[in-house]
């Protein structure tokens, strides 16, 4: 299986367009995936309403490049997403605001491309041939497009360790329904099974990853640390693409549950031994940080099971940073966040540690509180 990884130091529009073409070349170029007259859906990662410079979302220059390249081939292009969270009183949904703040709304208007908000579009209930829920609500736009191009952002993730091409498809689940699946499957491995089930249904034929700037540490939101990694990646196999990106971040094989499970099911290639990486990009010497909450996943189950609940890192709201916007409250699948004396607090006895609150906080006010033993081990490791 081929994964293309080319160097791209910044988001200059013309440079990005050239680099996208260069990344696609070893895969046969766009002509290997599309025909004139096709309808193609682009699925970026717009976790929340963030500007391009945040390093949290798929940079709009990547999306703009794909729009131009596809329209040159007489392709109808759509851009669709459902951000995290439930609603935003000012504009209706978090996704609507994310389209605006990211710059995608303006780009799509200028190009005559339809933006599809998966929170309020028509969807079908699709039977799940996988191993978790009985069915998924998925937008008709996703199901009826001739081609889905997955445009993930390269980031760490406090629940699933890493978020890339596979996890990006979770954004096809409309709005508040995402909270329900988090509540039903709070364990990182079981939640990853849900995500892999969605991958098995949508099966994007092409994935192009924004790794020009990545997040490491406690991503995928404000608590992550931005780093100029300097690559644009592409593959017809989202699992292989994710595995190479995980390697760049320093994850050993099998440590990220989403790609490991997808590989075990035979949906894609999750072993570097069977992946051919093509391109001029070289893995940086800098040691990047994995999520603090991911520490316990490196321990054997026989050690982990008796101590996991005691040593688990917990989300905590920093009242000094909190602007009382309520997005953490609206995003919590367990309804375990309360407002008390003009501040929000988390009831840890009921918390399932899905960290949706941390993902959605625009101020970085939801912090990870580590057990002292874990802090000590992290300092010496």
283 in a domain, yes or no? no
pLDDT for 356 equals 81
Pair 230, 346 in one domain: no
- Both 247 and 318 in one domain: the answer is no
Domain boundary among 235, 256, 278: 278
In this structure, are 210 and 323 located in the same domain? no
Give the pLDDT confidence score for residue 237 in this predicted structure: 98
Residue 219 and residue 301 share a domain: no
| Largest pairwise CA distance in the chain | 60
**CB 209 within 8 Å of CB 152:** yes
Same domain, 241 and 188: yes
Question: pLDDT value at position 86?
Answer: 57
CA distance 227 to 213: 6
Helix (H/G/I), strand (E/B), else coil: 193: helix
Nearest Cα to 271, choosing from 305, 237, 296, 221? 237
Assign 3-class secondary structure to 111-167.
Answer: HCCEEEECCCCCEEEEECCCCCCCEEEEEHHHHHCCEEEEECEEEEECCCEEECHHH
For residue 203, the 8-state DSSP code is: -
Give the domain extent around 342: 292-380
Same domain, 263 and 325: no
pLDDT at 342: 78
Contacts of 306 (CB under 8 A, 6+ apart): none
Q: Say if 358 falls within a structural domain.
A: yes
Q: What's this model's pTM, rounded to 2 decimal places?
A: 0.86
One-character DSSP codes across 256-269: SHHHHHHHHTTSS-
90 in any annotated domain? yes
- At residue 92, the pLDDT reads 61
Across the chain, how many H-helices and E-strands are there? 14, 17
Contact 232, 210 (CB under 8 A): yes
Residue 285 in any domain: the answer is no
Helix (H, G, I), strand (E, B) or coil at 206: strand
For β-strands 206-217 and 224-227, DSSP reports them as antiparallel
Alpha-carbon distance values, 89 to 93, 97, 325, 335, 351 (Å)? 8, 10, 10, 19, 25
- How far is the C-alpha of 51 from the C-alpha of 54, rounded, in Å? 6
Same-domain check for residues 268 and 353: no
In this structure, the dihedral spanned by the alpha carbons of residues 107, 108, 112 and 118, taken in order and rounded to 10 degrees, is 180
**Quick one: 26 and 85 in the same domain?**
yes
370 shares a domain with 244? no
Asked whether the beta carbons of 314 and 348 are under 8 A apart, the reply is: yes
**Number of separate domains in the chain:** 2
CB-based contact 201:166 (threshold 8 Å): no
For residues 312 and 316, what is the distance between their CA atoms, to the nearest angstrom? 13
**CATH number, domain at 100?**
3.40.50.11440
What per-residue confidence (pLDDT) applies to 177?
A: 85
Please check whether residue 60 lies inside any domain of the structure: yes
What are the tokens at 244?
A: 């190479």
DSSP 50-104: --GGGSSS--HHHHHHHHHHHHTTT-EEEEEE--SSS-BTTTBSHHHHHHHHHTH
- Within-domain flag for 103: yes
> What is the Cα–Cα distance from 224 to 291, expressed in whole angstroms?
9
With CA atoms as reference, report the closest residue to 20 among 205, 212, 174, 173: 212
From first to last of the 381 residues of the chain, give the pLDDT tens digit: 999 999 999 999 899 999 999 999 999 999 999 999 999 999 999 999 999 999 999 999 999 999 999 999 999 999 999 998 655 544 468 899 999 999 999 999 999 999 999 999 999 999 999 989 999 999 999 999 999 999 999 999 988 999 999 999 999 999 878 888 988 888 889 999 999 999 999 999 999 999 999 999 999 988 899 999 999 999 999 999 999 999 999 999 999 999 999 999 999 999 999 999 999 999 989 999 998 765 544 444 444 444 445 555 678 899 888 989 888 888 888 888 988 777 898 987 778 777 788 878 888 888 877 655 445 444 444
């Amino acid at each position: 299986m081929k994964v293309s990884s080319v160097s791209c130091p910044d988001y200059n529009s013309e440079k990005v367009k050239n680099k996208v073409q260069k990344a696609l070349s070893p895969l046969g170029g766009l002509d290997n995936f599309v025909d004139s007259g096709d309808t193609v859906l682009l699925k970026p990662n717009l976790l929340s309403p963030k500007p391009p410079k945040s390093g949290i979302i798929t940079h709009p220059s990547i999306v703009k490049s794909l729009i131009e390249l596809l329209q040159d081939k007489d392709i109808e292009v759509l851009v669709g997403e459902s951000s995290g969270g439930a609603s935003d009183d000012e504009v209706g949904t978090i996704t609507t605001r994310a389209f605006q703040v990211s710059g995608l709304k303006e780009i799509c208007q200028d190009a005559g491309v339809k933006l599809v908000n998966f929170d309020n579009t028509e969807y079908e209930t699709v039977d799940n041939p996988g191993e978790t829920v009985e069915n998924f609500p998925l937008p008709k736009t996703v199901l009826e497009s001739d081609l889905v191009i997955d445009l993930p952002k390269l980031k760490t993730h406090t629940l699933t360790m890493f978020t890339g091409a596979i996890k990006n498809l979770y954004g096809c689940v409309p709005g508040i329904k995402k909270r329900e699946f988090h509540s039903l499957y709070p364990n990182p491995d079981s939640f990853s099974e849900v995500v892999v089930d969605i991958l098995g249904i949508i099966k994007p034929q092409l994935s192009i990853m924004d790794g020009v700037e990545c997040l490491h540490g406690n991503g995928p939101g404000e608590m992550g640390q931005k780093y100029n990694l300097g690559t644009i990646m592409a593959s017809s196999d989202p699992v292989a693409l994710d595995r190479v990106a995980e390697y760049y971040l320093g994850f050993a094989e099998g440590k990220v549950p989403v790609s490991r499970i997808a590989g075990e099911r035979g949906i894609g290639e999750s072993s570097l031994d069977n992946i051919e990486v093509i391109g001029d990009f070289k893995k940086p010497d800098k040691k990047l940080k994995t999520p603090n909450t991911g520490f316990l996943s490196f321990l054997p189950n026989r050690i982990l099971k008796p101590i996991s609940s005691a040593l688990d890192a917990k989300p905590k709201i920093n009242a000094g940073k909190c602007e009382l916007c309520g997005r953490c409250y609206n995003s919590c699948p367990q309804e375990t966040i309360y407002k008390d004396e003009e501040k929000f607090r988390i009831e840890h006895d009921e918390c399932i540690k899905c960290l949706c609150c941390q993902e959605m906080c625009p101020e970085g006010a939801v912090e990870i509180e580590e057990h002292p033993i874990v802090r000590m081990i992290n300092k010496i490791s």
